Amino acid sequence: MWDCGPFGKLSAGARLSAGRSPAAFDFEFIRAYHQLNAGTELGPGFLWLCDTESEIDRPTSIQHEPRRSWKCFFCFLCSRILHQPETNGWQAESTRDSAPVAASGNDDSLLDAYSRAVTGAVERVSPSLVNIEVHQSAGRSRSGEDRERRGGGSGFVFTPDGLILTNSHVVHDARRIEVTLADGRRIPATAIGDDPASDLAVIRIEQASVDEPGLTAAALGDSQQLRVGQLVVALGSPYGFQSTVTAGVVSALGRSLRSYSGRLIDDVIQTDAALNPGNSGGPLVDSAGRVVGVNTATILPAQGICFAIGINTAKFVASRLLRDGRIRRSFIGVSAQTVPVHRRVVRFYDLPKESGALALSVEENSPAKRAGLRDGDIIVALEGKPVAGVDDLHRVLTDVRVGVSSTLTVLRLTEKLELKIVPEEAAN
């Protein structure tokens, strides 16, 4: 029994017989160790590294050369590396990594969680995505012929009977609307109503034939459940490239965005999902494929600052547009701007806000004129609700104020007055 260090202990198989050369002993030692550990003959790596096969078959014919014996021992070590069994660490790990791919037979196992979330959301909502092409009047030519200009945007089907939600600035004043569905069909559409103050509109496509496939309605989510940092996916047709997908996160919530009508849109979602001209009206969806916003605007000089109207606001506006064809709002007939109120006046009257809406001009035969409002008065409250500026005044002048007598609190110089006013319905 020999103690061979890291090679363990070898006995009968590696015994040095009388008359054997050192080279023959080296070969017998190696063969005995290999059989003891692997239970097989020497592998091809060893045969390839040795000079000739005869040296292995006839170890006694090898001359007494110390270099030859050390060469055989070196060849043995190399053969063990080249012929390592499955217990080798890196080979076993490589086998484990490649096993799921071979078993699955597709690319699903190669996708990470982020990719699966995005692709799953796209697969759910893309059948509801539409491309909208509008034709608007552009005046008359010198010859007296009507001219048209074309525009476009995106939208999504939210009811199976063909109702589509999009932006107001996409379809406003459109003479003709055509919708391209996800399957390539082009169908004419008509506007049900649009609200420039919230930049939302509802259109309806014509009923499809009986033999044509039906429409897929997108699932609507809850924008109040969104969290900053949550994954969102924007879909649309920027620059005419249909079914374009961009992904990002919710950058901020509760933003205010001024529409082209001058009113503020509240509870706007800020995202870094890239939006471009043509994305307007497209859906902003969460990882479950539920629509949580309507893409509306981007800041062109900036990068990654895009906005979408919350789907909860869109639900309210869409329901009113379907019922009335417009959003009813009240007005009092005054042009105003936001100004600060002197701090002494604020403290003296214990006002909740330090600013108000300064009346610049009052329209003739308007509710404000009949109530006795004058130029230079500062509106600080309406029916007990504080008014810190023009935007607050817009918020309190809702449809519920139409025809209802309300108390208008104003500051005239240093005097606080309360006027009775009956707001009227504003014309769209």
Torsion of CA 296, 300, 303, 306, to 10 degrees: -10
Q: State the Cα–Cα distance between residues 108 and 101, nearest whole angstrom.
A: 9
- Cα gap 50→76, rounded to integer Å: 9
**Nearby residues of 171 by Cβ (< 8 Å), 6 or more positions away:** 132, 134, 153, 177, 191, 194, 201, 203
> Nearest Cα to 332, choosing from 272, 255, 390?
390
Q: Which residue in the list 69, 168, 169, 223 is annotated as catalytic?
A: 169
Rounded Cα–Cα distance for residues 158 and 165 (Å): 7
Residue from 128, 198, 223, 280 carrying the catalytic annotation: 280
Phi and psi torsions of 374, nearest 5°: -120, 160
280 is annotated as an active-site residue: yes
Backbone angles phi, psi at 11, to 5 degrees: -125, -120
Rounded Cα distance, 222 and 182, in Å:
25
Q: Is 169 a catalytic residue?
A: yes
Residue 199 known to be catalytic: yes
Q: Which residues of 291-313 are buried (b: 16+ CB within 10 A; e: fewer)?
A: bbbbbbbbeeeeeebbbbbbbbb
| Per annotation, catalytic residue among 26, 194, 195, 199 | 199
- Show which residues are catalytic: 169, 199, 280
